């Protein structure tokens, strides 16, 4: 039986990529729990398995007392002397019992418990594997869809893409390969999952890092992303190297780089916006491709009224307000767009940021730009209970 047990454990571990110690520990715990179910939960039982020979030993643990009040957990000193002459009151005595005394039902329960532990250990290994790839792009094949949850076969294990992480307009064909962002890891006992996303802003950022070498080597920096997944995104970029056009680097020769990104996003359009420390200029850039005549900025309210030519009004607002809403999200400023001649009368309250403040901030940024950035911030492993 010992050799058969060792062979079975080794086979399971090889198939599932699980450490044998996890299986042996789970088996010991499962057998002990099964015995308690048949003989009372208060029973103290200890199970040992020899990792080399597979020899199986089970012990009842009893406390040596003068007067027995609990037959299951206590043993009189006189009876204890039959097992060991050196035993004394207060000691715990381990009495070996036949493994065969474990009933068939209890043994079956132990088997199910062990298999559950093995599956959990397998999921834990998968979560650990992808903990090094948080915030990165992975490729996977659609395995199936269950109650809105997309199951994805990955390089190792299976990932999950909840409904709120999917692009609404996309249809996920079973067997087809897609790219995904490793967004989150849930790592609790019996609740371990790799959460994937295609709708998160981080997915767009990771795609740019893959397609634009200047971003991965810190020559170009993504300052912000605003996204309506499946519809439109705006990406603000700046250069950390004199003479390097950040927008041109992201677009690539003949649009090759941006086209590769947009092909992955399907119907989604991507605007590459030049970031600027001057909030007025940043707002103008964020509303591209519309032309802006002037920006009336209210610093106290963090709001702005943008004046555009009449023929640019619909372009500045965008379909269903998409362009102006994305610009607001990108800049962090509440933006309203009006056509020329309809700007508000309270111009005294609406003015650009102070010129001295802008110049001072630009000096600070220019100084920081000389230090090469090497740190990439990644999401922490999130622990959550899945309901």
Residue 255 falls in which region: left (phi positive, over 0), alpha (psi -120 to 50) or beta: left
CB atoms within 10 A of CB 108: 11
Q: What is the pLDDT of residue 375?
A: 37
Domain 134-276+381-387 has what CATH class? alpha beta
User: How many Cα atoms sit within 13 Å of 217 on the Cβ side?
Assistant: 8
Q: Of the candidates 157, 120, 127, which has an alpha carbon nearest to the alpha carbon of residue 29? A: 120
How far apart CA 165 and CA 183 sit, in angstroms, is 9
Same-fold call for 2-127 versus 279-352: no
Give just the sign of the alpha carbon dihedral 8, 12, 18, 22: negative
How far apart CA 74 and CA 76 sit, in angstroms, is 7
pTM attached to this predicted model: 0.68
Q: pLDDT for 53-77, tens place per residue?
A: 777 788 888 888 888 888 888 888 8
Domain-by-domain residue ranges, the chain?
Answer: 2-127, 134-276+381-387, 279-352
Transcribe 248-263 into DSSP letters.
HHHH-GGGHHHHHHHH
Q: What mean pLDDT do residues 244-266 have?
A: 94
Distances (CA, A) of 289 to 72, 215, 273, 312, 323: 81, 23, 9, 9, 9
Q: pLDDT for 357-374, tens place per residue?
A: 444 444 544 444 444 443
> Is 279-352 a CATH 3.30.43.10 domain?
no
Mean pLDDT (the chain) is 83
Which of the four CATH numbers 3.40.50.300, 1.20.120.530, 3.40.190.10, 3.30.1480.10 does domain 2-127 have?
Answer: 3.30.1480.10
Q: pLDDT for 111-155, tens place per residue?
A: 676 677 777 877 888 899 999 999 999 999 999 998 889 999 999
Q: What is the pLDDT of residue 2?
A: 53
* 24 CB-near residues (< 8 Å, 6+ apart): 9, 49, 51
């Amino acid at each position: 039986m010992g050799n058969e047990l060792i062979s079975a454990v080794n086979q399971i571990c090889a198939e599932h990529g699980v450490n044998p110690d996890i299986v042996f520990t789970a088996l010991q715990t499962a057998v002990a729990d099964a015995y308690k179910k048949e003989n009372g939960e208060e029973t103290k039982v200890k199970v040992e398995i020899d990792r080399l020979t597979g020899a199986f030993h089970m012990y009842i643990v009893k406390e040596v007392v003068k007067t027995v009040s609990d037959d299951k957990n206590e043993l009189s000193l006189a009876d204890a002397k039959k097992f060991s002459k050196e035993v004394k009151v207060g000691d715990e005595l381990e009495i070996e019992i036949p493994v065969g005394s474990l009933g068939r039902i209890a043994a079956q329960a132990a088997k199910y418990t062990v298999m559950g532990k093995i599956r959990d250990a397998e999921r834990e290994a998968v979560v650990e594997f992808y903990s090094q790839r948080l915030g990165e792009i992975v490729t996977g094949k659609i395995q199936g869809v269950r109650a809105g949850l997309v199951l994805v076969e990955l390089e190792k294990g299976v990932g999950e893409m909840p409904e709120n992480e999917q692009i609404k307009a996309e249809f996920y064909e079973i067997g087809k390969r897609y790219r995904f962002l490793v967004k989150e890891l849930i790592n609790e006992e019996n609740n371990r999952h790799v959460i994937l996303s295609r709708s998160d802003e981080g997915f767009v950022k990771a795609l740019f890092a893959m397609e634009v070498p200047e971003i991965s080597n810190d020559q170009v920096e993504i300052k912000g992303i605003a996204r309506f997944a499946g519809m439109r995104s705006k990406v603000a970029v700046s250069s950390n190297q004199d003479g390097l056009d950040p927008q041109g680097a992201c677009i690539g020769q003949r649009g090759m780089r941006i086209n590769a990104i947009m092909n992955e996003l399907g119907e989604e359009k991507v605007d590459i916006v030049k970031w600027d420390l001057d909030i007025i200029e940043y707002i103008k850039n964020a509303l591209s491709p519309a032309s802006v005549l002037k920006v009336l900025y209210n610093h106290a309210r963090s709001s702005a009224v943008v004046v555009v030519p009449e023929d640019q009004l619909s372009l500045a607002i965008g379909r269903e307000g998409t362009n102006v809403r994305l610009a607001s999200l990108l800049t962090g400023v509440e933006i309203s767009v009006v056509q020329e001649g309809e700007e508000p009368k309270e111009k005294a309250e609406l003015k650009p940021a102070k010129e001295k403040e802008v110049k001072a901030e630009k000096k600070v940024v220019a100084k920081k730009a000389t230090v090469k950035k090497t740190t990439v911030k990644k999401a922490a492993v999130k622990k959550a209970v899945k309901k």
